[in-house]
Structure 1
């Protein structure tokens, strides 16, 4: 059985408006200077707690910032979002090809599931996995390990698709190949430096590398 794990933000959907506006809301409530949206896109993808720690210059106010962020995001921000073109089509193709598809996001799963349902993507996925509200499994290494254990998956039959270095690092730590996508918020160099097997420029071009990577992993097992 071939497995594909998909990151959410910057891979399946473009969450820029909702995330950056919620960050700005949190900063304003804290009395902190509020950057323009384009100066905050680096926070899309990594765990929020680490992003706010860096943004605020220390960990002291980061938990409160996350709380304030979620105050807006949970009601408004999560729907200020849109699915990237051709994503439903590629998910449909993989689903029909027999892949088991999972979402693997650092976003809390309570929000991720609402987003996936809202955009009508839940029919493609076996399960939506994310972090807990207390930040457990926010690190992609921990999250992917949790998915593999929970679903009893063989990492040799799986591939991780994501737009940030954290996706590739998490995949490599668990023996999974990673595909870097360039339409999200990670740079090409960031993805290459983190060890992705390849870069993909458009969602419609994902099918072939996913098949190639999972197929090449399956063949040695078949000979054994």
Structure 2
């Protein structure tokens, strides 16, 4: 059992299985733009980084296409997509126990800030978290920058008693950049081999493993 005082969670693929809504949003984008890409083959690579980055790196979009696709994606996601998902089984019990033990909980996500609070309320997760940090504006923000912003606002100093928990390499990189303990979870959307190559401090195959790491 690790003794953590503060825990920072990623959202998509870590707290919530949001793939149905994200996949439907991508289908909407591709249809509106008249593109024939197979959304099922590319969706996992779009989850994790900011949507603009994913559209550029995965789909090869130029700046104009990124602007259009990002707007369409958020249009669908804001109306329907963010409600199309579920909290991973066992996560709420884990969060409740952590709160009871006095651990401070946070969320740092590349999800746009305008959606973040609504999603947490909808899935009844907002009461567990002391503070959250999501992306704002049109500028790309790395996960490391989002974590730094969250830590600065809460006057948290780099410490191995603080852990970043997430399902993609961006979470591990962001945690390491801020000199935090890193915990990779393999039940989300990240590539397992890629996650292990990042050498996180802990690796959880499922929610039970994560519970064992955090609570013993």
TM-score (norm 1): 0.89
C-alpha change, 1:136 and 1:150, in structure 2 (3 Å) is farther
Q: Which runs of 5+ in 2 are unaligned?
A: none
**2:46 counterpart residue number:** 43
Q: Deviations over 1:70-122 (max 9, x none)?
A: 01100100001111000000101111111100011110122121111101111
Deviation at 1:211, TM superposition (A): 5.6
1:190 aligns with: 194
In the alignment, which of 133, 143, 155 is matched to residue 152 of structure 1? 155
For residues 14-54 of structure 1, give each alpha carbon's deviation from its aligned partner in whole angstroms, at most 9, with x where no partner exists.
01111011112112111222314243222111110011112
Post-superposition Cα deviations, 1:178-204, rounded to whole Å, max 9, x if no partner, equal 101010011221111122112112213
* Aligned equivalents of 1:55, 1:13: Cα separation in 2: 23
SS in 1 for 2:109: strand
Three-state SS of the structure 2 residue aligned to 1:155 is: coil
Aligned pair count reads 211
In 2, distance between residues paired with 1:15 and 1:192?
23
Q: List structure 1 segments (4+ residues) > 3 angstroms apart after TM superposition.
A: none
CA contact (8 A) 2:133 2:149 kept: no
Q: What does residue 180 of structure 2 align with? A: 176
TM-score (norm. length: structure 2): 0.92
Where do 1:196-215 residues align within 5 Å?
Answer: 196-210=200-214
Work out whether residues 26 and 39 of structure 2, in 8 Å CA contact, stay in contact via their aligned partners in 1.
no
Aligned-CA RMSD value: 1.6
Long gaps (5+) in structure 1: 213-224
Q: 1:165 touches 1:194 (CA, 8 Å); kept in 2?
A: yes
For residue 171 of structure 2, give the secondary structure of its aligned residue in structure 1.
Answer: helix
